[in-house]
Amino acid sequence: MRLVLLGAPGAGKGTQAGVLARRYDVPHISTGDMLREHGQLGTPLGRKTARFMQSGHLVPDDLVLEMVEERLARADARRGFVCDGFPRTLPQAESFAQRLASRGLALDGVVLLEVPFQALIRRLCLRRVCPGCGAVYHLEDRPPRQVGRCDADGSVLLHREDDREEVIRERLEVYHQQTAPLVEFYEEAGLLLRVDSARPVELIRADLYEILDPLSERSGDTR
């Protein structure tokens, strides 16, 4: 299964991507998580990209493409992947398509998670994430059982630096300018699958399984 989850910040890409990756037995490739890990480890890439992420701007394409290329070259990605947050610009999407085509491959689908603007701001302001296992919470809609602690591994939950309202607004503007054009790009390629994502997580997930299970069966023979 080779899948991309597309959607504005807060659309629920991370919430759904991990579950889909487990269901289809492929790695979850989140460029946001990878970049945050570089930041925490203080790698040269992490130092170069921190200011873009903190201000809500995109990291330059060449840095992202190099990082993704390295990730896709690992053995587990031969089976496929669920990409979350990549591609995010037209040059990234074009380069990704060329990379796959040069290996005789293509994406199986691109899911667009659609959510109204105001709901996105509320979701992100109240999001908390587990630094240990990556679980995602919402303080009102999906609170952890114990205040401030991850249900799965007990880690202290974090409030992401870019989840402050002024940075969220900037990220949404950047999405509108630089990532929204990918909707047309993938629509023209016949790959776009729209999912109303302003509904409860479980209903969205059920729709995703219904749409994606047949794609996964078809892509099985090209692994």
Distance in Å, CB of 187 to ligand AP5, minimum: 19
Q: What are the angstrom distances between the C-alpha of 209 and each of 6, 7, 94, 169?
A: 16, 18, 27, 31
Distance in Å, CB of 186 to ligand AP5, minimum: 15
- Smallest Cα–Cα separation from 151: which of 161, 170, 136? 136
Out of 2, 123, 127, 128, the active site residue is: 127
- Euclidean distance between CA atoms 203 and 113, whole angstroms: 13
By CB under 6 A, is residue 83 in contact with ligand AP5?
A: no
71 is catalytic: no
Is the CB of 159 or the CB of 218 nearer to ligand AP5? 159
- Euclidean distance between CA atoms 19 and 11, whole angstroms: 15
48 is catalytic: no
- Euclidean distance between CA atoms 155 and 6, whole angstroms: 28
Residue number of the CB atom closest to ligand AP5: 32
Contacts of 39 (CB under 8 A, 6+ apart): 46, 49, 50, 53
- Judged by CB under 6 A, which of 21, 29, 53, 112 binds ligand AP5? 53
Q: Which residues are catalytic?
A: 13, 88, 127, 160, 171
Q: Which residues bind ligand AP5 (CB under 6 A)?
A: 7, 9-15, 31-32, 35, 52-53, 56-59, 64, 85-86, 88, 92, 123-124, 127, 136-138, 141-142, 162, 171, 197, 200-201, 204
